Amino acid sequence: MPFTYGDIPDSEVKSYIPIMTNIWKIFKELGWKYLFDTFKEISLNVYKLAFERLKSTVDTAKLIMAEKMDGTKVVNYSLSPPFYTIRNDMQSGSMKLVYGESVDSTFIVCNNFTEKPEIGLLMNCHLEDGWPVDWWTVAGDDELLDRRHLKLGIKLRDLPAKGNMSFVGWKARQILQDIRNERSPHWADSPYFTGPNRMAGALNCLLETSNYELFFHLYNAYNSKRLYGMKDLIFDYTPFPSLLKTATFMDQPNFVLRTVGLTTGLFWSVQGFHESNINYFTENFAELWEVAMKRRWEKDGIPIPQTTLDWRYPYMKEKQDFVKKLTRVSKKDAYLTIDQLGIDLEDAYKGVFLDYTYEDPPETLSHDRIISFGMGKEAKILKTEIETVNRDFLSLP
């Protein structure tokens, strides 16, 4: 018997769960207690998970800058925010287009799985010309989270308990900008962006397997108040980069196309995990991994780009049934499974970058479409030649 929305205790995070499709799926099968206890445990180790991802991205960027690696055939996670895949040769240009020439960006994870909401993780990266030149991560009991806001006297870690995502972003920015200027006065004139988000939303993205689906979820997260009537945003930016803000007012398919075009040139990236993170989940949360990853690859399938672009919410006028209101449907239901690619689960878990876009026929999906396995410097390249056409952000249909 699947669990239902009514089984979720009334809490600050409850109304956001149905639109987070990965979290919602896990809850329906394993229940709220399992979900809450598991994510509470993950929140204690999120530093290690995030550190591995950011370090890999920075190390790979250094190889690209030194021209020791072909970035056109390999993807890695973006620098900010750190949960969507980006083709390595497009990292610098995309970051510079969104943020500018010289910038600090701090990803702020607000933990909703504690007695009171608090900041659970900070991931900062300083970019020059789109490349990382300095980075750090902070979590748990680090004394930096005890730094107080000069006017309000509130500790940095306690900001989520005092206000919404916008409040967290702006007040954290004031604290972090002071710290940046103290430690690195030569960057004092560089813009500073913060990206506050709810941990449930971040974990939903962490479990997303497709870059097209990931940007679909980001669109929902940035528009959770405007389009879905929720009390607050799931993800926010302070200040919101103007280019990205404009994109959030497009319809969902156009937002997805433009962001995927900006990050992989429209190629499909089935997102993966680094080996240490795979081991962490399979050894500690086997049930979650079975539902969210193993079964998806073997049985349920991963929505192909055409399916993602066709998702719609036809019941938005529903007044009584909140879950039905947030139910998405597609007339182009087509999914990718491991059998179509002819690969092992171990390779699939590490990520697959495909020479396939939303314009290609679904029946052509096969092993021959694989460009590379894995992420960043650990990737294994299979295809030596691909046509890399980088389209203008605004030139798509």
Give φ, ψ of 207 to 5 degrees. Answer: -90, 5
Q: Which of 232, 239, 190, 197 is nearest to 218 (CA)?
A: 197
Give φ, ψ of 105 to 5 degrees. Answer: -135, 125
**For residue 89, what pLDDT is reported?**
87
Residue 389, pLDDT > 70, answer no
> What letter does residue 274 receive in the DSSP assignment?
-
**For residue 88, what pLDDT is reported?**
87
Which residue ranges make up each domain of the chain? Answer: 1-397
- Token pair, residue 8, equals 């979720």
Residue 391, pLDDT > 60, answer no
Percent of the chain with pLDDT over 70: 97
Average pLDDT over residues 60-79: 84
Q: pLDDT digit string (tens) for 246-293? A: 999 999 999 999 999 999 999 999 999 988 889 999 999 999 999 999
Secondary structure element (H or E) that encloses residue 134, with its range: strand 131-139
Residue 41, pLDDT > 70, answer yes
Banded pLDDT at 65 (limits 50, 70, 90): confident
**For residue 45, what pLDDT is reported?**
80
Q: What is the dihedral of CA 202, 205, 211, 212, to 10 degrees?
A: -110
Q: Would you say 347 and 328 are in contact if contact means Cβ atoms under 8 Å apart?
A: no
- Token pair, residue 45, equals 């180790």
**For residue 113, what pLDDT is reported?**
80
Q: pLDDT digit string (tens) for 6-27? A: 999 998 889 999 999 999 999 9
Q: Would you say 318 and 324 are in contact if contact means Cβ atoms under 8 Å apart?
A: yes
Query: What pairs with residue 87 in β-bridges?
Result: 75
Secondary structure element (H or E) that encloses residue 200, with its range: helix 199-206
Please provide the average confidence, as pLDDT, over all residues in the chain. Answer: 91
Q: Would you say 356 and 268 are in contact if contact means Cβ atoms under 8 Å apart?
A: yes
